[in-house]
């Protein structure tokens, strides 16, 4: 399960690095120049590609991984420990991308995600630093 998750998350690193480079390139080009417009087009294509991959990724997790997690039938205490580990990992790896992630969701999806995350943090007395 962990190996599959790491491979899935690593899949988007080249796209994310390309986005970072496109943003840098756009920042130094003359606004309105053909090169500037080309850089904006490239950035737009990469962002749309990342958004598509993220949507596919979450659909795959819901379809493939969620049933595996549910099948483990963890006790309440084990669920709390697992959730605490997940939040800890998210803080270390995704905290700077949290707003970017939320902006890619529909308003309804973003509110559902925030509600679930807030509930988990409060219920389990976890640090909310990543939100």
Of 20 and 128, the structure prediction assigns the larger pLDDT to 20
Of 101 and 24, the structure prediction assigns the larger pLDDT to 24
Instruction: Report the domain count for the chain.
Output: 2
| CA pair distance 125, 131, nearest whole angstrom | 14
Can you say whether residue 125 is alpha, beta or left, with left for phi > 0 and alpha for psi between -120 and 50 degrees? left
Asked whether residue 60 falls in the same domain as residue 81, the answer is: no
Q: Indicate the residue among 46, 73, 100 that finishes a domain.
A: 73
Asked whether residue 10 falls in the same domain as residue 53, the answer is: yes
The torsion of the CA quartet 48, 50, 56, 60, rounded to 10 degrees, works out to -170
Asked whether residue 32 falls in the same domain as residue 65, the answer is: yes
Q: Indicate the residue among 49, 73, 97 that finishes a domain.
A: 73
Asked whether residue 46 falls in the same domain as residue 104, the answer is: no
How do residues 35-83 score in pLDDT, each as one tens digit?
A: 999 999 999 999 998 888 888 887 887 788 778 777 788 787 787 777 6
Asked whether residue 89 falls in the same domain as residue 67, the answer is: no
Asked whether residue 48 falls in the same domain as residue 81, the answer is: no
Average pLDDT, the chain: 79
Asked whether residue 30 falls in the same domain as residue 87, the answer is: no
Considering only CA atoms, which of 10, 7, 19, 24 is closest in space to residue 48?
19
Asked whether residue 57 falls in the same domain as residue 108, the answer is: no
Asked whether residue 39 falls in the same domain as residue 98, the answer is: no
Q: Indicate the residue among 73, 101, 118 that finishes a domain.
A: 73
Confidence at 2, pLDDT banded by 50, 70, 90:
low
For residue 103, what are the domain limits?
75-131
Asked whether residue 80 falls in the same domain as residue 107, the answer is: yes
Give this prediction's pTM: 0.54
Asked whether residue 49 falls in the same domain as residue 110, the answer is: no
Considering only CA atoms, which of 88, 68, 54 is closest in space to residue 2?
68
């Amino acid at each position: 399960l962990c190996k599959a998750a790491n491979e899935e998350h690593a899949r988007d690193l080249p796209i994310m690095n390309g986005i970072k480079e496109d943003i840098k390139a756009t920042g130094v080009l003359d606004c309105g120049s053909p090169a500037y417009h080309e850089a904006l087009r490239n950035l737009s294509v990469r962002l749309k590609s990342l958004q598509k991959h993220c949507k596919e990724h979450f659909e795959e997790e819901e379809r493939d991984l969620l049933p595996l997690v549910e099948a483990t039938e963890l006790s309440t205490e084990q669920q709390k420990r697992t959730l605490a580990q997940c939040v800890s990992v998210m803080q270390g790896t995704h905290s700077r991308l949290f707003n970017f992630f939320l902006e890619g969701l529909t308003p309804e999806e973003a509110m559902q995600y925030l509600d679930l995350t807030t509930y988990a943090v409060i219920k389990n007395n976890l640090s909310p630093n990543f939100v």
